[in-house]
Structure 1
Amino acid sequence: MRWWRRGQVLAVATVLLLAAGTAAWALGAAPVAAVPWVAATLLGLLASTATLVAAVRERRPSVDVIAWLALAGALAVGEAFAGAVVAVMLATGALLEERADARARRELSALVGRAPRTARRVAATGPSPVPVAEATVGDRLLVGSGEIVPVDGRLLTVAELDEAALTGESRPVSRGVGEDVRSGVVNAGAPLELTATATAAGSTYAGVVRLVEQARAGTAPFVRAADRFAVAFVPVTLVLAAVAGLAAGDPGRAVAVLVVATPCPLLLAAPIAIVSGLSRAARRGVVIKGGAALERLAAGRVLMFDKTGTLTVGRPVLTDVVTAPGGPSAGEVLGWAAALDASSAHVLAAAIVTAARERGLPPGRARDVREVHGYGIEGVVDGHRVRLGKASWVAAGAGPAWLRQTRRRAALDGSITVFLAVDDEPAGALLLHDPVRPQAPRMIRALRAAGIRRMVLLTGDRADAAEAVGHVVSADAVHADCDPAHKLALVRAEQQREPTIMVGDGINDAPALAAAGVGVALAARGATASAEAADVVLTVDRIDALADAILIARRSRSIALVAVLTGMGASVLAMLAAAAGWLPIPAGALLQEAIDVAAIGIALTALLPGRTHTVPMNATDAAVARRLYAQHRDVRSLVEQVRTVADGLSDPPYRLSGVRGLVRRLQEDLLPHERAEEAELLPIMARALGGAEAVAALSRTHAEIEHQVSRLARTLRDLPETAEPEDVVDVRRLLYGLYAILCLHNAQEEEDAFSLVPDEPREPAAV
């Protein structure tokens, strides 16, 4: 701030002195005009001398020697006006650079400035404030309305949170009891309580602040090259000035060259454009650790992805509930499982509890809960002894036929199965899956359009699961069963051919992230070793932000290049004109001022919005799309029931009551939703994507779904309650066909429609 005030005083003083002298000259008082002009020149000379002395002390070269010689030369040859103009140029240029830099860094600095300082620990005597550094794991903390959550924790009460600082989502997000909450978010509702799961230093917000500090430190290779070029420019300028002065026998000719030779476009324009790019990326939820990382991101041509948590959601999502024939309903199975898992820290427990809450199932209470590590969990729920876990633990031997069939189905789908037994009888199974992110295929297309030539998928998962994801996102190569060393070797091999970008989110990705030309970490769920090793960190849980970051990086580098070439090209032409005697010293000073302002103005355009892959959508349309997306998620269990009912017709007797009940639900729940999407969602998508042709395929599948449900209803109309084998063949064929169409249609909607909605709900549909 002291430097800023000195810079302001110097700029204001030189401008006022130049103006005063110009006014006196205009009034015909030329001798009087020389006094303020000389004073302004001396001020500029004093400031330039201080800069040169600092450079000598730091043993670094400085192009300010040209400005110093221009000021001294102007005084020596009696061109006080030109000296005053050069002084104004130096003072206002330095001030403009600092102001532009401060504006460009504002988004980064805002994160650091709002870091929480205190926490309120709840004790027997009530809540008491403590320094946030003293909060420990297990502390019960109170966060008032409008306060920032100080540390990562697990909610003890429901909460309404503003997560915009970390995710960019503008709408408050509701969180339930038992959900994890990250430090740095704002309590947008009633006071909440949480149990601390991390210290302040180990919490998400502290990690983001560290990333921001790293982002401030780097200097771009382009900027360093500009600095070196500017230093090399000094002897060339001095030689040209000397030759011009000696050839003309006029020292003023040399001064004219020096006046127009100050390389401000190199010194100011390039850093401003690069830092402006960092600022634009930060607004999109992407922290780039300095200009060097931004330049490497712009140069990347090969993109390498980890699968889990990067292309996929990274956490299991319940896709179906299978029930034993004649057993409890799917709601009962899920409710009992959620009651047991409410007290479990297992990675699958959160998915099961979340699924029960989303389906509106009342939270059950379990007692005598006992967790058997490696097998599952058991307890008493609603008077029944319930066991939840591996098939071998809940069923003796191979188990009943439905259980074996469920295991085969899960193996084919790459799903995880959790089986449930009630009073020692297998009663149902929960199928969970880590789905591909809805935005992933669209982001891959956007990256290819941005200049990425090759996409490579790396994963430690088995080959069949990796190939399935690779096909969905159209990867050019898939490498499965990779350990960290194998990933590292693959990244190094690709890096030798072309500049490489590696994207990952886990500790096992850290070596590969560090070895790549640019490492990109997804840290939306907390800062990990991958975030520390990476050059670029996504603080939003949307990988499509990476496509925007690459576009921003390339645009910033292009703008820096245009600003430098424009400014330096004009300066070189002005130098040649001055050397030839065509540009008087005063005119040269004014021209150089105009060149500098133009170059800096070009650089500042990097702060303006540029091309992104994001499709614009107004608030009204987005609200409608979010409502339809919520309905879309609600009917996903019904889609899975189509397959479950078809599987239930494998063995006689072939009773069709379940099929008839399914058809009624399809007609009452699914078809009205599909019609609402046709009437409301598709027009929104057509407006956003530029025409009805963009949504024609979705409209066609809506019609096909209605047709297939109608065919199924007509087929059932003439069949008895217990069907013959030849009749069941047709029913099963229709059910499996309908299931395939629904799965494909839902995947298309999620990719082509719902992935475009801003502030998208965090949990994507699984079918």
Structure 2
Amino acid sequence: MEKSASDRFKTAILILAVGGLAGGLALYAAGRDDIARLVWFAGVVPALAALVVEIARSIGRGEVGLDIVAALSMSAALAFGETLAAAVVAVMYSGGTFLESFAEGRARREMHDLLSRVPRMATRYRGGALEDVPLDEIQPGDRLLIRQGDVVPVDGTLASETAFLDTSALTGESLPQRLSQGSEAMSGATNAGEAFDMTAARRAAESTYAGIVRLVEEAQRSKAPMSRLADRWSLGFLAVTLVIALGAWWATGDPIRAVAVLVVATPCPLILAVPVALVAGLSRAAHFGVLIKGAGPLETMARIRTLILDKTGTLTDGRPQIVTIDADDGLGEAELLRLAASLDQASKHPVAQAIVAAARERGLALEVPLQVVERAGEGVIGQVAGRAVIVGGHGFVAGEVAGPVAGEGAGKSRGALPDAAAGAVVVAVAVDGRMAGHLVMSDPLREGVGAMLDGLRRGGIERILLATGDRADVAERVTEGLGLDGLRAGLSPDQKVLLVLSEHKHGPVMMVGDGVNDAPALAAADVGVAMGARGAAASAEAADVVLLVDRIERLGAGMTIARAARRIALESVVAGIGLSVLGMIAAAFGYLTPVQGALLQEAIDVAVILNALRALRIRPE
């Protein structure tokens, strides 16, 4: 990823500081003390100037950070002729800010335009012909052609008899919806059936998908920036430093003792240990398929108290699976599935593809279908190994083989519609002119969800909620036994944002989702987590964390790593600051010169960095 101007500037400051220290040491060793001091001075000035500018900006924002201690130590060392000590401090400080910048910039990009799946053009009827036009030119009332696989460009109404739309990225509903003439088609949905016509109802800028884009942008703008962990210690440490330094100067009348105290007090254990531990945590998390976009999100992950989960594609797999097969006694389950899957090879419908995948998983030998006719949103008719096969909705198939719905009023007789759980889809199969059975399909929970949620609770998560655009009965049935603290169903994208904001009163909030409809809530949460393997690009852009593999249990691993990395950072900070305070006391009593204090501080830095690097060996359960 290309470096920003800020990153390049910090890199240049570090190079100048290191070059000044190394060049001055070389000249000092050659006996050119006077020139060495000038070189050290020259290496310190850029770092000090940049530091003063940053302090002024921070004070303008009402913030007071540890930068003040570093500026005081460098300024005092230069003022009293301790240029070598100042050069050492400049290298330590510029190195720390460089590492911190690297941590914050890791894998983080601004959400560019959320248009990775949005069409740039649309196909419009004009004067008896078709023309491709930019989205901005579409006006209400225009008649549009939506081909198979196209994303609906604007909100509108269906002009054709039927259409089959995959709205999972917008509503969270995993199964495609069948629309009839006059129904509303939302922008951002994908045509999962045959081509259809629609009449535009709104301009592109006023449509559903554009509204979701605006929600993401607004949520990101309203999200307060994450404070650096080190700055939370700044005021106390600054006060202790000034008391010891000024006390030593007042008691002895020797300003060099104050300089030595300030040099030892340079807060590099804070400045260095925190970003090193967190960067190590970022690397470790990436090893387990959890991409965390910076040290700030990783630190916040360790403090999460409320977890909000989407259902479809997050808690569930997002792909329909066969639950039961209700076959004719004379046919058998395997043969019914084999014939249905053989015919469904000719269809791109998600349910058809799920049936084909299920048959192949069971090792069934599929035939090549012939004379295939697909009725968009209803079913498929064709020949399989010389047998007439029909696969589709129960009403469609029953109507094709017998006119009225087979089994109607017949209770559980042959051909009757089987009982199905809420949210399940029933696919009927007819063979040689008679109803042969049904395939009951649903979108089940991912494997290991229950164990993962139990582990998160043990790790400190106090509230776990479900937020879904799906129906309440479906959500309740799917999540039964998970012990959730709350369930909110039928939510629109803006309602999910409101839920996230309302949960802030319980502590830091994490939102996990995978669809475009989840993107605004991911951006509004303290930490947003996207299922990046198959999820929408919008959610991955808006999120702070992306699960690179399609396995929800990796969230538990990421949380464990975040907590351990933060704990290691805090251990390094406490140990380093403790040693620094002891060094400050020694300097105050005259046992350390400024240069010796700087070297002692370097030794402390090495110790805390080595401790911080333990984060590279974190092993989540």
**Alignment equivalent of 2:584, drawn from 575, 583, 587:** 575
Matched, 1:554 2:563: yes
Matched with 1:331 is 334
User: Are 1:348 and 2:351 matched, yes or no?
Assistant: yes
Structure-1 residue corresponding to 2:226: 221
Identify if the C-alpha distance between structure 1 residues 20 and 554 changes in structure 2 by more than 3 Å, giving closer, same or farther: same
Cα pair 2:307 2:465 within 8 Å, conserved: yes
1:89-128 maps to which residues of 2 (within 5 A)?
Answer: 90-91=90-91, 94-95=94-95, 98=98
Shift in alpha-carbon separation, 1:496–1:239, aligned structure 2, 3 A: closer
Partner of 1:443 in structure 2?
452
Rounded to whole Å, the distance in 1 between the matches of 2:474 and 2:15 is 62
Q: Is residue 310–residue 467 contact of structure 2 (8 Å, CA) maintained in 1? A: yes
Specify the SS of the correspondent of 1:314.
Answer: coil
Distance 1:410 1:293, change over 3 A: farther
1:10–1:43 contact (8 Å) kept in structure 2: no
Asked if structure 2 preserves the Cα contact closer than 8 Å seen for 1:220 and 1:293, the reply is: no
Q: Residue 473 of structure 1: which of 465, 469, 482 is its match?
A: 482
Three-state SS of the structure 1 residue aligned to 2:348 is coil
Residues 265 and 567 in structure 1, CA contact (< 8 A), matched pair in contact too: yes
Name the counterpart of 2:48. 52
SS at match of 1:364: coil
**Does the 8 Å CA contact 2:99/2:276 hold for their aligned counterparts?**
no
1:270 to 269, 274, 284: 274
Are 1:494 and 2:503 matched, yes or no? yes
Structure 1 residue corresponding to 2:311, chosen from 293, 307, 311: 307
For residue 556 of structure 1, report the CA deviation from its aligned partner: 2.1
Specify the code of the residue in structure 2 equivalent to 1:68. M
Relative to its length, the structure with more helix (as a share) is 1
Distance 1:404 1:528 in 2: 47
Q: How many residues align?
A: 490
Structure 2 CA distance, aligned partners of 1:219 and 1:561? 23
Map Cα deviations across residues 315-361 of structure 1 (whole Å, 9 max, x no partner): 111233322233x3433322322232222121101111112222223
SS of residue in 1 equivalent to 2:396: helix
Q: Answer whether contact 2:278 2:569 (CA < 8 A) is retained.
A: yes
- CA distance 1:57–1:305, shift in 2 (3 Å): closer
Unaligned runs of 5+ in 1: 25-31, 110-136, 139-214, 614-767
CA contact (8 A) 1:49 1:68 kept: no
Cα deviations by residue, 1:350-404 (Å, 9 ceiling, x for unpaired): 1111122222233322233222123212122223332211111111434245876
Normalised by the length of structure 1, the TM-score is: 0.56
Q: Which has the higher contact order (CA 8 A, sep 6+)?
A: 2
Residue from 426, 434, 437 that aligns with 2:443: 434
**Using a 3 Å threshold, how does the CA distance of structure 1 residues 526 and 303 change in structure 2: closer, same or farther?**
closer
- Say whether 1:367 aligns with 2:363: no
Note the alpha carbon deviations across 1:104-141, whole angstroms, 9 max, x for none. Answer: 988999xxxxxxxxxxxxxxxxxxxxxxxxxxx99xxx
AA partner of residue 518 (structure 2)? D
Quote the residue 1:69 is aligned against. 75
CA contact (8 A) 2:104 2:293 kept: no
Aligned to 1:392, what secondary structure does the other structure show?
helix
8 Å contact 1:18–1:85 — kept in the other structure? no
SS at match of 1:47: helix
Amino acid at match of 2:420: A
| CA shift for structure 1 position 298 | 1.6
Q: Give the one of 508, 512, 537 matched to 1:528.
A: 537
Q: 1:612 aligns with which of 604, 612, 620?
A: 620
Letter in 2 for 1:221: M
* Conserved? CA contact 2:257–2:587, under 8 Å: yes
Are 1:589 and 2:598 matched, yes or no? yes
User: Deviations along 1:719-757, whole A, 9 cap, x unmatched?
Assistant: xxxxxxxxxxxxxxxxxxxxxxxxxxxxxxxxxxxxxxx
Secondary structure of residue in 2 paired with 1:473:
coil
Distance in 2, Cα, partners of 1:535 & 1:99: 20
* Deviation at residue 13 of structure 1 after TM alignment: 7.2
Deviation at 1:9, TM superposition (A): 8.3
CA distance in 2: counterparts of 1:495 and 1:442, whole angstroms? 25
Q: Paired residue for 2:461?
A: 452
SS for the counterpart of 1:596 is: helix
Distance 1:264 1:495, change over 3 A: same
Q: Where does residue 256 of structure 2 map in the other structure?
A: 252
2:200 corresponds in structure 1 to none
Partner of residue 169, structure 2: none
Q: SS where residue 420 of structure 2 aligns?
A: helix
* Residue identity matched to 1:72: L
Residue 539 (str. 1) matches residue 543 (str. 2) = no
Gaps (5+ residues) in structure 2?
A: 1-7, 59-66, 110-146, 149-219
Note the C-alpha offset of 1:46.
Answer: 1.5
For the pair 1:87 / 2:87, whether they are aligned, the reply is yes
Residue pairs, 1:352-751, within 5 angstroms: 352-395=355-398, 396=402, 397-400=404-407, 409-412=418-421, 415-606=424-615, 608-613=616-621
Q: Provide the TM-score with structure 2 as the length reference.
A: 0.68
- CA shift, 1:546, in A, is 0.7
Where 2:580 maps in the other structure, the secondary structure is helix
Computing the radius of gyration from Cα coordinates, the structure with the larger value is: 1
Cα distance in 2 for partners of 1:107, 1:514 equals: 16
Tell me if the contact between 2:291 and 2:545 (Cα under 8 Å) persists in the aligned partners.
Answer: yes
What amino acid maps onto 1:316 in structure 2?
P
Give the C-alpha shift of residue 447 in structure 1.
0.6
Deviation at 1:406, TM superposition (A): 7.6
Q: Report the Cα offset of residue 419 of structure 1.
A: 0.7
1:316 partnered with 2:317: no
Structure 1 pair 404–507 and aligned structure 2 pair: CA distance change class (3 A): farther
| Contact 2:27/2:35, CA 8 A, preserved across alignment | no
What is the CA–CA distance in structure 2 between the aligned matches of 1:363 and 1:284, rounded to whole Å? 37
The residue type equivalent to 1:274 in the other structure is L
Given that 1:107 and 1:283 are in contact with CA atoms closer than 8 Å, whether structure 2 keeps it comes out as no
Distance 1:406 1:605, change over 3 A: farther
Structure 1 residues 392 and 600, CA gap change in structure 2 (3 angstroms)? same
More displaced 10-residue stretch of structure 1: 45-54 or 330-339: 330-339
Query: Is 2:516–2:536's contact at 8 Å kept on the other side of the alignment?
Result: no
What is the CA-CA distance between 1:405 and the residue it aligns to? 7.2
The ranges of structure 1 where at least 4 consecutive aligned residues each deviate by more than 6 angstroms after the TM superposition are: 1-6, 99-109, 231-236
Q: Would the alpha carbon gap of residues 360 and 514 (structure 1) be closer, same or farther in structure 2, given more than 3 Å must change?
A: same
For 1:287-313, what per-residue CA distance to the aligned partner results, in whole angstroms no more than 9, with x for missing partners? Answer: 223233223322211212222221121
Q: Return 440-449 or 334-343, whichever deviates more.
A: 334-343
Deviation at 1:249, TM superposition (A): 2.4
> Distance between the aligned counterparts of 1:48 and 1:219, measured in 2?
33
The 1-side partners of 2:77 and 2:492 are apart by 63
Contact 2:378 2:393 in 1 (8 A): yes
Q: Deviations over 1:459-495 (max 9, x none)?
A: 3444444333333323233334444454444333322
Cα separation, partners in 2 of 1:349 and 1:467, compared to 1, 3 Å: same
Q: Percent identity?
A: 44
Could you tell me how far 1:233 is from its partner in structure 2? Answer: 6.2
Q: What is the CA distance between 1:437 and its match in structure 2?
A: 1.2
1:426, CA displacement in angstroms? 0.9
Q: Tell me by how many angstroms 1:271 deviates.
A: 2.4
